[in-house]
Chains A and B, each alone.
Chain A
């Protein structure tokens, strides 16, 4: 780890404008300092603060009311309030420390924002005994149940009460209904009409119950769309329609419709599926019928329904204008407008043109308006980025338009094929006759299996088709008819070659198979909807933005794409509207296919050894392994298969196309639903399978609020890469020659320990202790073997992909996890990988080293070695210069020389850097040497940096290099020192373990624990980490390991507490808030300073059983928003997740501002990469953005947000 935020040489120049005696860290950063201090000053100076206090005191009940509170919520309030007080005192402390004189603060915009939440806080609080609440809640529930509106009343987030679709029922009900009606009307009338006490109470309770129950909060039509039954039915219908089985689809919808219990589960989207079908057929009758059904079901037609109706009319020759007018009128009555229809509906094929045709019959001049107004992101952090574009130098790619278009078409055909077969790096080995024989044998077997499976699938499909399904049971049949049988079987055979010899759990295997089918289906669907042509068209124009030989644009990729799409509005929408299949369907489908494989793939038992009896035996077996007393279904290959595969050493690998990096720049993310690959469906936010709360949250976002996030993803994805060929060749040579564990190149299976089996006679001679030992060894050997296999395969995949791309330029499309941390989408080979993969990658674009580039290369090399941790940059540079001989030797004779590089922390990257330095110094003029090499700048314990900045911890900030120092500080050594002090003190007091530990406390022992403390490591986990380190120390007496680790972890925690006072307090505050939020039945949500909404998807586990022919599977679902939140997880995960959301925000800001500065920039979370030439600029941007970010009242805003979100119901 080395220094990002305070590099003395540059920091000092930043300092110049500031009086040097001011020690507070923010002072370093000239202008930004004052905004920051000012905003906090607001909290400090009396007048604004007292006004704020007053707001809060209205919220906080007097002590004597304490018992009556709605418990958890008030507690939350207390915690939040306490935090505000804490913030106040913290700042006072810091400022005193800093001895800074503040000017009297004026009420700045930022400070005022803290008042926002109080708008909702008015009047007194509900003060209800708990019991009463329960009673009332049940009563209200019962009432609602009676009225059949249990799930329907929705409180919109703005506080308006609406009862969608139920008003009609209500009016026709008996007297109680009227009462309920008044109840619902109460808030509206509240201001004028005095309401009877009970009603008021009831209303409040209603509100409380609603805001407390997450399912109700999310109960809008989109949200429900994804829910269980609806999603299953939707996907089923879509699948039926896709394979042309319209009867089946219609039948299913009707059976559901006819059963009242089931009908209540349907939503308008399901009827729309059928309407679209009938629209395609031009059957007005059927459309009419569907509208009647919709009415019957008490649903309201939405835009898509009308869209289908109009489409149908457009298809009907000479459709009477009267009919069309009636539809348009009806639409208006329902409050829908035609403009919206064109803006919001997703069109397939020629649907849009047909709708337009229908409208033209009655309104010949109608043209849907093209909305070209671009809204900009509201976050003040990116205001400059979006508004001041004159100086922006958005980077271009080093390709001509022609080249980019050609790359696009190659990528397109690769994705259309959905899989790609490449040569593995083992192909370089010579083929022995035995290998050739085995390959032929395997190929022959595959043909046999393929044929058998196609037959079996066809037969089982016939059986499935003939079974009349039970009324509402959804069969797998339509999912098995989406493609040719051959395509399914290809997928099955493909999975066979990836099966590890030790087998794979049925669940995982099934999931893989099911997902592959889904992927293939999505891609087919896109070409079926005829969107490929349109995509090509738009992409080809979009490429102008990036190509070097076309004009300069002052717009961002997202904006450009958006504009092009608006301009080419005719034809199908690019946005695919196919929904992700429910996880259960994916697994069930996969299990079905696995079952076929187990039953129908057979081989002759004498195929390898003619001495065996000939029997026709299965290739795959279904059995169980037992883990923690749970039985896990497993699919194991027969050793014959494994043997054949190992002997054949087949040298081709088949991957899904999205595993490969892209051959053209990715499609820019224009919304949370569209971007990245051309055809392969990709989520912008990675989630646990089946969790949809993130999607719902993102959908609710204002489009503009996500812009900064989308743009930073696009920027990361637009970085072009290529392979560092000389290095790849060296690595492959080591890989193909037995590997090297020290250099992290996994050895082949032939190097694995032999699994010995002892005969009975041998065993009889052993004592029981020896037998136990043998047994342990056996298990260990097995484990080692399977670990080695998986490591080897992983490396094989990575290297083979790299090798396949060796002459290419390629791109990694990016998406992010739910905290906003970004990741490249291709799973195996990417720059986030190990030292090996990172070393193989260089920027496609080269830039001259310039005056300072060589210096940075050298410093980078020293950083990669892990040496000279406590030297200044100048010191590191000097060190590099003293070892130039070693560097050049490493570059020239990597495997046969002195091998200096092999002892580095990151050997392969160090070697690559040696080579780059060698080339540079040997060039005629190093400043003109064109370098493709990425230079990294790493945060020094980035989590702690954020905490220190949030808590304004001066000592802490110093130790993580937020404050300029002569030499870089090392927080780990700092902690080690502090721990040593404690130890010495205890040792003097005669504490035995402190005495034993004398001389053993080092940076290494505490490092991991310090690093992970910010990510929420507990004492328990910390102890294990330290125990591990102590065990590595040879002379440390083993019998004291447990006590010592126990003692040390305590000391580490107290040292951190001492150094980072604010950190612990913030952590505690976050934890306590999360605990109370979770206890009150909510999940923790927040919004990053860049506007990305975040929700923690942790709920109590629900088990779902899946029936299967081969075995039943039980799925553990931990993200079901209908379950109560998992309090422990919610609370433990909040602090680290919050910090991650901040570090991701900082990274995104840096990415954006680097983009407008024309830099190549990529990141590995808190490690930023750019060309040697531009390191200084990047460092400057990085620092500026860090200061800008922490000048925001981050905690204040979080507190406001939480108050508003979780406590406003209390007023």
Chain B
């Protein structure tokens, strides 16, 4: 596919000249000078491919594109060349800013450059709140993006690569803020188009019955988002800041690629009974249930409220002896909605359990 696209010519955009992507060699060198451990998209073909997946109608789309840590800006230019109406680059590394800002000046508002690290938005920990750390409301207010309804069209598309070391904790953090509708999700159904490691993708997509990999993490993401695998790209296609060795994490799962995954929050995620204010309990419930996939669901439910397990299962039309690892994300959601209606459960003490987070980065 890549090869095929290489030969293709860009359709000129009329008003604008094409932006020069620069020499691959030079871009690689610049990326390698980056002081923090990161991966970059340098290959023009790869950038083209990503752009293609963000499309098809970049010119007409109203969604703002957030590009995380563009580095030398190959993808940025490719996006602009393809006619993206509004690109915001969130660059955490100071050294890349001047070049990007120069580009910003060149253009007529299609590009905004912000010194901000997407993965350091709304930090929990201590330290000063100054770039690249930032609060989401400041970022969005500065950009003039206002809060939207959940059912509105996707307001923002985020594209980038998860930093390897914090990939999982970032995904958890996003999950929590999604269910709580905090942080970026205050502004509507922000769509992620991110490269994640293959193993993490496989865990994300694990299906009920896969007792080893089907866990709360995947179940909750599947419940919250429409997840689509757009593309698989070998690790080697990305340029790494060379000062550090960046070993590809080992896993019992296949892990040969980075996967470009689109995660679009479901329009119907929230309903009359599932709201951002009680969603935390749903998260808690799913985590409790899937901590052990071979446990019987009825036992878990009885823990919340004695004897109510069989009744609920009957209402759900499920087998009495169903294991927690066999229950679909959607079913968990329905189950929660039933539970939430039931008097017995809301009186249950376990219902009041609050998730504690002791991790520094992450959610509240």
A-to-B contact residues, CB < 8 Å: 605, 615, 617, 621, 623-629, 631, 638-639, 757, 760, 763-764, 768, 771-772, 775-776, 778-779, 782-783, 1024, 1027, 1041-1043, 1111
- B126 x A1024 contact (CB < 8 A): yes
Kindly state whether residue B356 has any CB partner on chain A within 8 Å. yes
- B126 x A624 contact (CB < 8 A): no
A782 to B182, CA, bound (A): 22
Contact partners of A763 in chain B: CB under 8 A: 275, 277
- A624 x B291 contact (CB < 8 A): yes
Contact partners of B235 in chain A: CB under 8 A: none
- B349 x A639 contact (CB < 8 A): yes
Rounded to whole Å, the gap between the CB of A352 and the closest CB of chain B is 53
- A779 x B354 contact (CB < 8 A): yes
- Would you give 24 A-B contacts (Cβ < 8 Å), ordered by A? A615-B306, A623-B288, A623-B350, A624-B287, A624-B288, A625-B356, A627-B356, A627-B358, A628-B169, A628-B359, A629-B172, A631-B287, A639-B349, A760-B277, A764-B275, A764-B277, A768-B186, A768-B276, A782-B356, A783-B356, A1042-B127, A1042-B128, A1043-B128, A1111-B292
Which of B126, B186, B359 sits near A1027, CB closer than 8 Å? Answer: B126
Rounded to whole Å, the gap between the CB of A753 and the closest CB of chain B is 14
Kindly state whether residue B168 has any CB partner on chain A within 8 Å. yes
A629 to B130, CA, bound (A): 27
- B349 x A772 contact (CB < 8 A): no
- B307 x A615 contact (CB < 8 A): yes
State which residues 316-364 of B face A: CB under 8 Å: 349-350, 352-359, 364
- A1041 x B291 contact (CB < 8 A): no
Rounded to whole Å, the gap between the CB of A509 and the closest CB of chain B is 17
User: Taking each of B180, B181, B278, B291, which has the highest tally of chain A beta carbons within 10 Å of its own beta carbon?
Assistant: B291
Kindly state whether residue B303 has any CB partner on chain A within 8 Å. yes
Rounded to whole Å, the gap between the CB of A217 and the closest CB of chain B is 31
Closest 3 CB pairs of A and B: A1042-B128, A763-B277, A624-B291
User: Taking each of B168, B278, B364, which has the highest tally of chain A beta carbons within 10 Å of its own beta carbon?
Assistant: B364
- B278 x A760 contact (CB < 8 A): yes
- A621 x B303 contact (CB < 8 A): yes
Rounded to whole Å, the gap between the CB of B314 and the closest CB of chain A is 18
- A626 x B287 contact (CB < 8 A): yes
Contact partners of B353 in chain A: CB under 8 A: 623
- A771 x B277 contact (CB < 8 A): yes
Contact partners of B349 in chain A: CB under 8 A: 638-639
Chain A at the B interface: mostly helix, strand, loop or mixed?
helix
Contact partners of A615 in chain B: CB under 8 A: 306-307
- A772 x B303 contact (CB < 8 A): no
Rounded to whole Å, the gap between the CB of B279 and the closest CB of chain A is 11
- Please, which residue of chain B has its CB at the minimum distance from the CB of A1111? B292
Rounded to whole Å, the gap between the CB of A990 and the closest CB of chain B is 21
Rounded to whole Å, the gap between the CB of B264 and the closest CB of chain A is 21
- A778 x B354 contact (CB < 8 A): yes
Rounded to whole Å, the gap between the CB of B27 and the closest CB of chain A is 33
Rounded to whole Å, the gap between the CB of A1027 and the closest CB of chain B is 7
Contact partners of A1024 in chain B: CB under 8 A: 126
- A772 x B182 contact (CB < 8 A): yes
- Please, which residue of chain B has its CB at the minimum distance from the CB of A1042? B128
Rounded to whole Å, the gap between the CB of A417 and the closest CB of chain B is 37
A623 to B303, CA, bound (A): 9
A782 to B357, CA, bound (A): 12
- Please, which residue of chain B has its CB at the minimum distance from the CB of A786? B356
A618 to B340, CA, bound (A): 23
- Please, which residue of chain B has its CB at the minimum distance from the CB of A616? B306
Contact partners of A629 in chain B: CB under 8 A: 168-169, 172, 359
- A772 x B128 contact (CB < 8 A): no
A631 to B287, CA, bound (A): 9
Beyond A626-B357, A631-B291, A771-B180, 14 additional pairs, beta carbon < 8 A? A615-B306, A623-B291, A623-B353, A624-B287, A629-B359, A639-B349, A763-B275, A768-B181, A775-B180, A775-B354, A775-B364, A779-B354, A1024-B126, A1042-B127
A1042 to B291, CA, bound (A): 39
Q: Return the CB mask of B265-299 against A: 1 if under 8 Å, else 0.
A: 00000000001111010000001100110000000
A137 to B352, CA, bound (A): 60
Rounded to whole Å, the gap between the CB of A778 and the closest CB of chain B is 6
- Please, which residue of chain B has its CB at the minimum distance from the CB of A1031? B126
Rounded to whole Å, the gap between the CB of B310 and the closest CB of chain A is 13
Contact partners of B169 in chain A: CB under 8 A: 628-629
A639 to B353, CA, bound (A): 12
Q: Return the CB mask of B129-152 against A: 1 if under 8 Å, else 0.
A: 010000000000000000000000
State which residues 9-42 of B face A: CB under 8 Å: none
Contact partners of A776 in chain B: CB under 8 A: 364
- Please, which residue of chain A has its CB at the minimum distance from the CB of B217? A629
Contact partners of A1111 in chain B: CB under 8 A: 291-292
Rounded to whole Å, the gap between the CB of B267 and the closest CB of chain A is 19
A121 to B364, CA, bound (A): 61
Which of B128, B278, B306 sits near A1041, CB closer than 8 Å? Answer: B128
Contact partners of B181 in chain A: CB under 8 A: 768
- Please, which residue of chain B has its CB at the minimum distance from the CB of A769? B137
User: Taking each of A771, A775, A1041, A1042, which has the highest tally of chain B beta carbons within 10 Å of its own beta carbon?
Assistant: A775
A638 to B186, CA, bound (A): 37
A95 to B192, CA, bound (A): 69
Q: Return the CB mask of B162-174 against A: 1 if under 8 Å, else 0.
A: 0000001100100
User: Taking each of A615, A771, A772, which has the highest tally of chain B beta carbons within 10 Å of its own beta carbon?
Assistant: A772
A843 to B277, CA, bound (A): 59
Contact partners of A617 in chain B: CB under 8 A: 306
Which of B280, B291, B352, B357 sits near A757, CB closer than 8 Å? Answer: B352
A629 to B168, CA, bound (A): 9
- Please, which residue of chain B has its CB at the minimum distance from the CB of A629? B172
A86 to B126, CA, bound (A): 40
Rounded to whole Å, the gap between the CB of B283 and the closest CB of chain A is 10
Contact partners of A757 in chain B: CB under 8 A: 352
Contact partners of A623 in chain B: CB under 8 A: 288, 291, 303, 350, 353
A605 to B348, CA, bound (A): 12
With A768-B276, A772-B180 already in contact, the answer to whether A782 and B307 are too (CB < 8 A) is: no
Which of A605, A626, A1042 sits near B306, CB closer than 8 Å? Answer: A605
- A628 x B128 contact (CB < 8 A): no
- Please, which residue of chain A has its CB at the minimum distance from the CB of B344? A613
A628 to B182, CA, bound (A): 20
A1126 to B280, CA, bound (A): 39
Contact partners of B182 in chain A: CB under 8 A: 768, 772
Rounded to whole Å, the gap between the CB of B282 and the closest CB of chain A is 14
Rounded to whole Å, the gap between the CB of B57 and the closest CB of chain A is 32
Contact partners of B306 in chain A: CB under 8 A: 605, 615, 617
A763 to B169, CA, bound (A): 28
Rounded to whole Å, the gap between the CB of A639 and the closest CB of chain B is 5
A772 to B278, CA, bound (A): 12
User: Taking each of B172, B353, B354, which has the highest tally of chain A beta carbons within 10 Å of its own beta carbon?
Assistant: B354
- A628 x B358 contact (CB < 8 A): yes
Contact partners of B358 in chain A: CB under 8 A: 627-628
A626 to B168, CA, bound (A): 14
With A615-B306, A760-B277, A772-B182 already in contact, the answer to whether A779 and B350 are too (CB < 8 A) is: no
A1027 to B128, CA, bound (A): 11
Rounded to whole Å, the gap between the CB of A1114 and the closest CB of chain B is 13
- Please, which residue of chain B has its CB at the minimum distance from the CB of A631? B291
Contact partners of A626 in chain B: CB under 8 A: 287, 355-357
Rounded to whole Å, the gap between the CB of A783 and the closest CB of chain B is 7
- Please, which residue of chain A has its CB at the minimum distance from the CB of B122? A772
- Please, which residue of chain A has its CB at the minimum distance from the CB of B352? A757
Rounded to whole Å, the gap between the CB of A632 and the closest CB of chain B is 10
A1111 to B364, CA, bound (A): 28
Rounded to whole Å, the gap between the CB of A1020 and the closest CB of chain B is 11
Rounded to whole Å, the gap between the CB of A668 and the closest CB of chain B is 44
Which of A624, A782, A1042 sits near B354, CB closer than 8 Å? Answer: A782
Rounded to whole Å, the gap between the CB of B307 and the closest CB of chain A is 6
Contact partners of B180 in chain A: CB under 8 A: 768, 771-772, 775
A772 to B358, CA, bound (A): 16
- Please, which residue of chain A has its CB at the minimum distance from the CB of B308? A615
